[in-house]
Amino acid sequence: MQRLISYRHEGLSQWGVLAADGQSIYSAYDLEETYYIPLAETLEEFIETGEEGLLNLAKLLESNGKDKSVEPIPLSEVQLDVPFHPRRNILCVGKNYQEHVREFDQNKNAANPAAPIFFTKATTSVIGPDEEIDSHPDVTSQVDYEGELGVIIGKRGTDIAPEDAMKYVYGYTIINDVTARDLQKTHAQWFRGKSLDTFCPMGPTILVGGWPAPFTIYTRVNGHLRQEGNTSDLIFSIPKLISTLSAGMTLLPGDVIATGTPKGVGMGLNPPEFLKKGDVVEITIDPIGTLRNTVK
């Protein structure tokens, strides 16, 4: 298991690997320069190198500390960036946890969708950890959070069978599928309510390699626990989502699938509680980390 991370250090944008203690980063550039094994300049490009890139990275980390040594940079000295900038829209799944279907439909007997509900978020909505979510007061008065597991596709594929789907998963991250509920309702298509600038916080890391699935998702607003869900409760599993999406439609390395949110969104509270300026939203999925963003 490794956690890949993008960051700024001494004025430079870089990427690297989080050390096992989670408190420092091995810079990909430093590893490359020390051991002459090529990686990639950015995490976008590294994801496209697929398994070969991950093998090179494993070799570098294995060599490190034997005859030469790359010192990790303390996390406290860097500013985190979005792990990578997706090249096309984030692929999202609506109503994929039964309890959330019920709160969304405000009906405790609401039926689960018969097929996955897909929509997308514009690439321009993506922001990184610690960046601010714009409350867009002139456009919406109902900004809501949705803590979700993001699945990152590692290789190009079409018509992927469910039993092969996990071979196409590169890794995992956290997505906050921020939503303007009023716009979601006004326009039949969810795209606009989901795509306002800053409405797709993503990060802080990309988890690759062996991971302990299923994942538990915790969302806190100003420290108060609002969502606690487990990916074992997904109505449509990750293999099912990949196989359905890829049927007749090519998936590409770097595609991100936001797998849906568990219950506990602000619109589901009685009365509803939407986000306001100064609110801090934290989504934690271990061992990916905590994605923290403040509303402005």
Would you tell me which residues interact with Mg ion (CB under 5 A)?
146, 177, 261
Residue holding tokens 């100003």? Answer: 222
Q: Is 261 left (phi over 0), alpha (psi -120 to 50) or beta?
A: beta
Residue 181 vs 292, nearer CB to Mg ion: 181
Closest distance of CB 93 from Mg ion, Å? 7
What tokens appear for 200 in the block? 């797709």
Pairing mode, strands 126-127 and 200-208: parallel
Nearest-approach distance from CB 11 to Mg ion, in angstroms: 35
Q: Which residue is nearest to Mg ion (CB)?
A: 177
Q: How far is CA 238 from CA 47, 66, 177, 269, in A?
A: 19, 39, 17, 28
The nearer residue to Mg ion, 261 or 284, going by C-beta atoms, is 261
Q: How far is the CB of 92 from Mg ion (least distance, A)?
A: 6
Cα-Cα-Cα-Cα torsion 202, 245, 102, 184, nearest 10 degrees, comes to 60
Q: For residue 104, what are the contacts with CB-CB under 8 A and spacing of at least 6?
A: 95, 110, 265, 267, 268
Tokens 């890829």 -> residue: 246
Q: Which CB, 173 or 261, lies closer to Mg ion?
A: 261
| Nearest to Mg ion of 41, 228 (CB atom) | 228
Cα 133 vs. chain centroid, distance in angstroms? 15
In the complex, what is the shortest distance from the CB of residue 14 to Mg ion, in angstroms, rounded to a whole number?
31
User: Taking the complex as a whole, how short is the minimal distance between the CB of residue 265 and Mg ion, in angstroms?
Assistant: 9
The CB-of-229 to Mg ion minimum distance in angstroms stands at: 12
Which is closer to Mg ion, CB of 32 or CB of 177? 177
d(CA 65, CA 196): 46
Closest distance of CB 171 from Mg ion, Å: 20
Residue 25: φ, ψ to 5° = -125, 135
Name which of 149 and 208 has its Cβ closer to Mg ion: 149
Q: How far is the CB of 103 from Mg ion (least distance, A)?
A: 13
- Residue placing its CB nearer to Mg ion in the complex, 70 or 175: 175
Dihedrals phi, psi of 288, to nearest 5 degrees:
-65, -40
CB-based burial label for 165 (10 Å; 0-12, 13-18, 19+): buried
Contact by Cβ (8 Å): 100, 236: no
Residue closer to Mg ion by CB (options 16, 150) is: 150
